[in-house]
């Protein structure tokens, strides 16, 4: 949660910080702020709401000489999204920005209050700057004070701190929240929570490890590890392709990302399919030696893709598979056996709850695998093995292409395992591989289909709720459809197994209850149809998504007839995504930045 940026050099630091924050706005947009030290003077600006408000406030502020600057875009955790709670937080002579949570802030704050320190905000972050200034009084240098401060903090953080006594220095520390640093051709240094703000400025970047801290100045770059040993940065090349992060003429990033699914799934398949087998060069097959069970763990949309995997792994690979919501798994004292492969699934690779379950599994000595979209993310660096989903940068807060590529990876993985475990005949695996090659075509959006859904969406803007229902893998898809709709339309929606409706929810049936019924031809069609008929008989409004005509539906969104239920899955996935998108647009919502949400949930 939250995005931070930093810069030290002679260029226009205001522009660099604001542009960087723009790239990170998806991480939180409750408020934003910057602090810049030029010569002897600090200038600090804060504004609630989106970055445009900060742009407006800083329009007359000029940075035309050497300066050091830090910036922040916030997703509120401690304290309301007010200007006082916005970062950077100030002490008497210093400013700090922070992403994460300081768990022992209350204790530190109590002591600081007893010392007579005056707090302006309700945040956990503000203690950092005051604690630093307290330590400064008894330290031989600002860096020593910073180091002591970091040692006193418990929790997760990425921190940048600047202070008047060191006019050419930015202090940094990272533990559990993402942060990286880049250097440009003039040896000027940049910090950010992810690499996109640095594209166009830096060609080489260093990802900090948990426990790293240090400082940069025009001539120095000093990094210490958690064990207080000085270390060299490890620079990797940064992509120069910023174009992919633009909207390309689509109204919203989410829309663009739905349309991109054809291309990114093609990328996901690249080099991973031969005629008769699935190849994952990035993992050793020995990862599965001695494994009798797979445990999947994730949050949100990634949980839904993983739920789909439970059907595929048991059906095709014949491997016992279970799944858990990460935030539940963390605290229920689970039994972890060493013959279980622990698999976490995450678009960002930074989700705090999922990351924590990975740490638990590692601690318990389990083999671990991450299915992730962001290379070098915390989960990728921690897990024993990694399969990247190759969806590219996903900017829409409502995940679409990440989900599509995750399910694609899981379908491939079920066949990879089927071969390893000899649970499927060779010819059957070949047939499945041929089907997988058809996924990119199944997710192509036709103008006619989009137009049809757009027109239909006007009938679904009210009512007292939506039920997305499906059976088998269409149940996780129903959950995902409902999540998409509620995230961006703010309408109440639930995903339910079709067969469960008569065990309670059918009591809600009336014309104002909208049922989005997933009716694939090739998986339990007759059974799913009867469940929908039961709802139709009670006058619920039915919108069926199916390749087949269905006379009990009020509306039908047709999909192409496919050879297999998994291809129907992908066809329907696109329909539920576009339906949510169009309903949300009609309601006038900000599709890419829905209220109360953030792209990356790096707090529990
Ligand atoms: O980055 P992750 O896949 O770990 O994120 C998990 C969830 O926070 C995420 O899927 C969230 O539910 C999305 N907003 C769904 O659209």
**DSSP H or E segment with residue 428:** helix 426-436
**Whether residue 76 has its Cβ less than 6 Å from ligand 1:** no
Going by C-beta distance under 8 Å and a sequence separation of 6 or more, which residues neighbour residue 330?
Answer: 353, 356, 357, 360, 604
Residue of 601, 602, 603 best suited for mutating to test ligand 1, as the one with most atoms within 8 Å of CB = 601
How far is residue 602's CA from residue 79's CA, in Å, rounded to a whole number?
17
Contact in structure between 366 and 338 (CB atoms under 8 Å) = yes
**Whether residue 602 has its Cβ less than 6 Å from ligand 1:** no
Q: How far is the CA of 132 from the centre of ligand 1 (A)?
A: 35
Residue nearest to atom 8 of ligand 1 (CA): 300
Which residue, chain included where needed, has tokens 């997305």?
Answer: 468
Going by C-beta distance under 8 Å and a sequence separation of 6 or more, which residues neighbour residue 459?
Answer: 555
pLDDT digits (tens, 9 = 90+) for 88-99: 999 999 999 999
In the predicted model, is pLDDT for residue 242 greater than 70?
no
The domain defined by 445-593 folds into Rossmann fold (3.40.50)
As a whole-number percent, the residues of the chain with pLDDT over 70 amount to 98
Q: How far is the CA of 348 from the centre of ligand 1 (A)?
A: 8
> Quick one: pLDDT band at residue 13, thresholds 50, 70, 90?
very high
Q: How far is the CA of 298 from the centre of ligand 1 (A)?
A: 9
Which structure tokens are listed for 87?
């970062």
Which residue, chain included where needed, has tokens 């649970």?
Answer: 423
pLDDT digits (tens, 9 = 90+) for 248-305: 678 999 999 999 999 899 889 988 999 899 999 889 999 999 999 999 999 999 999 9
> In which region does residue 540 sit, left (phi positive, over 0), alpha (psi from -120 to 50) or beta (all else)?
beta
**Whether residue 348 has its Cβ less than 6 Å from ligand 1:** yes
> In which region does residue 472 sit, left (phi positive, over 0), alpha (psi from -120 to 50) or beta (all else)?
left
**Strand partners of residue 235:** 206
Tell me if 3-237 shares its fold with 247-444. Answer: no
Look at residue 509 in the predicted model and tell me its pLDDT.
Answer: 81
> Quick one: pLDDT band at residue 602, thresholds 50, 70, 90?
confident
In the predicted model, is pLDDT for residue 375 greater than 80?
no
**DSSP H or E segment with residue 403:** helix 401-420
Residue of 26, 301, 480 best suited for mutating to test ligand 1, as the one with most atoms within 8 Å of CB = 301
Residue 213 main-chain phi, psi, to 5 deg? -150, 165
- Is residue 586 packed enough to be buried (19+ CB in 10 Å), middle (13-18) or exposed (0-12)? middle
Pick the residue with more confidence: 466 or 241?
A: 466
> Quick one: pLDDT band at residue 243, thresholds 50, 70, 90?
low
DSSP assignment string, 79-111: S-S-TTTSSSEE-SSEEEEEEEEETTHHHHHHH
Superfamily of domain 247-444 in CATH is: Glucose-6-phosphate isomerase like protein; domain 1 (3.40.50.10490)
> Quick one: pLDDT band at residue 1, thresholds 50, 70, 90?
low
**DSSP H or E segment with residue 255:** helix 253-259
Other beta carbons within 10 angstroms of residue 510's beta carbon come to: 12
Q: How far is the CA of 26 from the centre of ligand 1 (A)?
A: 12
**Which atom of ligand 1 lies nearest, measured to the CA of 599?**
14
DSSP assignment string, 117-156: PPP--S-STHHHHHHHHHHHTTSSSHHHHHHHHHHH--EE
DSSP assignment string, 464-498: SEEEEEESTTHHHHHHHHHHHHHHHH---EEEEEG
How far is residue 149's CA from residue 452's CA, in Å, rounded to a whole number?
59
Contact in structure between 320 and 292 (CB atoms under 8 Å) = yes
**Which atom of ligand 1 lies nearest, measured to the CA of 601?**
8
How far is residue 252's CA from residue 250's CA, in Å, rounded to a whole number?
5
Look at residue 399 in the predicted model and tell me its pLDDT.
Answer: 96
Domain limits, the chain: 3-237, 247-444, 445-593
Residue nearest to atom 14 of ligand 1 (CA): 398
- Cα torsion 85, 89, 90, 94 to 10°: value is 180
Look at residue 107 in the predicted model and tell me its pLDDT.
Answer: 95
Contact in structure between 69 and 63 (CB atoms under 8 Å) = yes
Give the residue-averaged pLDDT of 357-372: 97
Look at residue 25 in the predicted model and tell me its pLDDT.
Answer: 84
The domain defined by 3-237 folds into 3.60.20
**Which atom of ligand 1 lies nearest, measured to the CA of 301?**
10
Closest CA to 494 of 509, 508, 512, 480: 480
Q: How far is the CA of 302 from the centre of ligand 1 (A)?
A: 6
Pick the residue with more confidence: 78 or 373?
A: 373
Distance in Å from the first CA to the final CA of the chain:
10
pLDDT digits (tens, 9 = 90+) for 548-579: 999 889 999 999 999 999 999 999 999 999 99
Q: How far is the CA of 448 from the centre of ligand 1 (A)?
A: 30
Look at residue 69 in the predicted model and tell me its pLDDT.
Answer: 97
Give the residue-averaged pLDDT of 485-512: 90
**Whether residue 301 has its Cβ less than 6 Å from ligand 1:** yes
Closest CA to 489 of 599, 586, 400, 597: 586
Closest CA to 86 of 168, 17, 2, 11: 2
2 noted as active-site residue: yes
Which structure tokens are listed for 593?
């930045």
Q: How far is the CA of 230 from the centre of ligand 1 (A)?
A: 36
Residue of 299, 343, 599 best suited for mutating to test ligand 1, as the one with most atoms within 8 Å of CB = 299
How far is residue 414's CA from residue 333's CA, in Å, rounded to a whole number?
29
**Whether residue 373 has its Cβ less than 6 Å from ligand 1:** no
pLDDT digits (tens, 9 = 90+) for 69-83: 999 998 776 777 899
Look at residue 11 in the predicted model and tell me its pLDDT.
Answer: 97
**Whether residue 346 has its Cβ less than 6 Å from ligand 1:** yes
């Amino acid at each position: 949660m939250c995005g931070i940026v930093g810069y030290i050099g002679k260029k226009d630091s205001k522009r660099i910080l604001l542009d960087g924050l723009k790239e990170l706005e998806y991480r939180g947009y409750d408020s934003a702020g910057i602090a810049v030290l030029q010569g002897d003077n600090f200038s600090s600006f804060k504004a609630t709401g989106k970055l445009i408000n900060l742009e407006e406030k800083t329009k007359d502020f000029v940075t035309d000489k050497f300066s050091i600057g830090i910036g922040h875009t916030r997703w509120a955790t401690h304290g309301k999204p007010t200007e006082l709670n916005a970062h950077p937080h100030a002490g008497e002579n210093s400013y700090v920005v922070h992403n994460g949570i300081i768990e022992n802030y209350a204790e530190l704050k109590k002591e600081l209050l007893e010392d007579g320190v005056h707090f302006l905000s309700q945040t956990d972050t503000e203690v950092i700057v005051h604690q630093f200034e307290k330590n400064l009084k008894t330290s031989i240098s600002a860096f020593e004070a910073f180091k002591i401060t970091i040692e006193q903090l418990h929790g997760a953080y990425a921190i940048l701190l600047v202070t008047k006594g060191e006019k050419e220095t930015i202090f940094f520390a990272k533990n559990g929240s993402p942060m990286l640093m880049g250097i440009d051709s003039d040896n000027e240094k940049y910090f950010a929570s992810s690499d996109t703000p640095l594209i166009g400025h830096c060609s080489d970047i260093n990802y900090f490890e948990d426990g790293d801290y240090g400082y940069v100045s025009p001539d120095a770059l000093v990094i210490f590890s958690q064990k207080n040993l000085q270390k060299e940065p490890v620079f990797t090349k940064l992509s120069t392709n910023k174009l992919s992060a633009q909207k390309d003429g689509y109204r919203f990033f989410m829309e663009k990302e739905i349309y991109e699914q054809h291309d990114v799934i093609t990328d996901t398949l690249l080099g991973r399919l031969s005629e008769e087998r699935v190849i994952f060069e990035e993992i050793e097959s020995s990862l599965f030696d001695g494994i009798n069970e797979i445990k999947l763990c994730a949050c949100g949309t990634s949980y839904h893709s993983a739920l789909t995997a439970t059907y595929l792994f048991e059906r095709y690979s014949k491997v016992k598979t279970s799944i858990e919501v990460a935030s539940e798994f963390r605290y229920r004292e689970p039994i972890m056996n060493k013959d279980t492969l622990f698999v976490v699934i995450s678009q960002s690779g930074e989700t705090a709850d999922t990351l924590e379950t990975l740490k638990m599994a590692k601690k318990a000595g389990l083999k671990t695998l991450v299915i992730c979209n962001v290379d070098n993310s915390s989960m990728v660096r921690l897990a024993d093995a990694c399969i990247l989903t190759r969806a590219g940068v996903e900017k829409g807060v409502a995940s679409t292409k990440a989900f599509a590529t995750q399910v694609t990876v899981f379908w491939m993985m079920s066949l990879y395992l089927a071969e390893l475990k000899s649970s499927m005949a060779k010819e059957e695996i070949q047939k499945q591989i041929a089907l997988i090659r058809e996924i990119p075509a199944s997710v192509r959006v036709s103008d006619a289909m989009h137009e049809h859904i757009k027109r239909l969406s006007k009938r679904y803007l009210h009512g007292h709720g939506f039920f997305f229902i499906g059976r088998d893998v269409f149940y996780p898809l129903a959950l995902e459809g409902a999540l998409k709709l509620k995230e961006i339309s703010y309408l109440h929606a639930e995903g339910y197994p079709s067969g469960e409706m008569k065990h309670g929810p059918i009591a809600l049936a009336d014309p104002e209850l909208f049922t989005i019924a997933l009716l694939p031809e090739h998986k339990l069609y007759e059974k799913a149809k009867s469940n929908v008929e039961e709802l139709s008989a009670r006058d619920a409004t039915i919108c069926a998504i199916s390749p087949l005509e269905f006379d009990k539906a009020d509306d039908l969104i047709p999909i192409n007839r496919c050879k297999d239920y998994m291809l129907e899955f992908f066809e329907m996935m696109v329909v539920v995504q576009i339906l949510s998108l169009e309903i949300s647009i009609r309601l006038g919502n900000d599709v890419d930045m829905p209220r109360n949400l953030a792209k990356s949930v790096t707090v529990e």
